């Protein structure tokens, strides 16, 4: 079991099979995980979601993905339901954390979900989704 401390001081435990998906720790020996590892710039809420996602997809991390082809694959129904319940701010935080932790399957999924959300939307609707004022207007 590995213990992580998020930016808000919360501690979270994860099995080695789950963190095997974190490319950031790929070459780290198990003996290095004896004390809590800080995960800066990641909230407890985002890290919990990352751990849930990685737990669900623990057998998928060995399969290499082609990011371009992945964009055209159908989204797993479990993933749609799981991420359909969170707001954009948390989704963006998860994408950023997945990039930092090197979980390509998760950050590519995040990009895909954002792209699907803005597809066919007007500029005003996209600004509202991202919480932007009239940038460049």
Give 69-116 pLDDT, tens digit per residue.
666 677 888 888 888 888 888 999 999 999 999 998 898 889 888 888
| pTM flag (> 0.85) | no
Q: Could you give all domains of the chain from N- to C-terminal order, each with its CATH number?
A: 2-130 (3.30.710.10)
DSSP string, the chain: -EEEEETTS-EEEE-HHHHTT-GGGTT--GGGGSSPEEETT--HHHHHHHHHHHHHTTTTTTS---HHHHTTSPPPHHHHHHHHTS-HHHHHHHHHHHHHHT-HHHHHHHHHHHHHHHTT--HHHHHHHHT---TT-
Cα(12)–Cα(18) distance, integer angstroms: 12
- CB proximity list for 133: less than 8 A, separation 6 or greater: 127
Task: Quote the pLDDT of residue 115.
Answer: 85
């Amino acid at each position: 079991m590995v213990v992580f401390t998020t930016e808000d001081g919360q501690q979270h435990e994860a099995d080695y099979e789950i963190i095997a998906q974190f490319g950031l720790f790929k070459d780290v020996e198990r003996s290095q995980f004896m004390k809590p590892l800080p995960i800066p710039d990641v909230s407890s809420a985002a890290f919990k979601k990352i751990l849930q996602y990685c737990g669900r997809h623990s057998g998928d991390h060995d399969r290499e993905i082609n990011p371009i082809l992945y964009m055209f694959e159908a989204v797993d129904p479990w993933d749609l339901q799981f991420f359909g319940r969170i707001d954009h701010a948390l989704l963006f935080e998860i994408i950023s954390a997945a990039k930092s932790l090197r979980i390509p399957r998760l950050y590519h999924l995040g990009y895909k979900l954002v792209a699907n959300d803005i597809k066919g939307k007007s500029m005003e609707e996209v600004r509202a989704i991202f919480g932007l004022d009239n940038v460049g207007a």
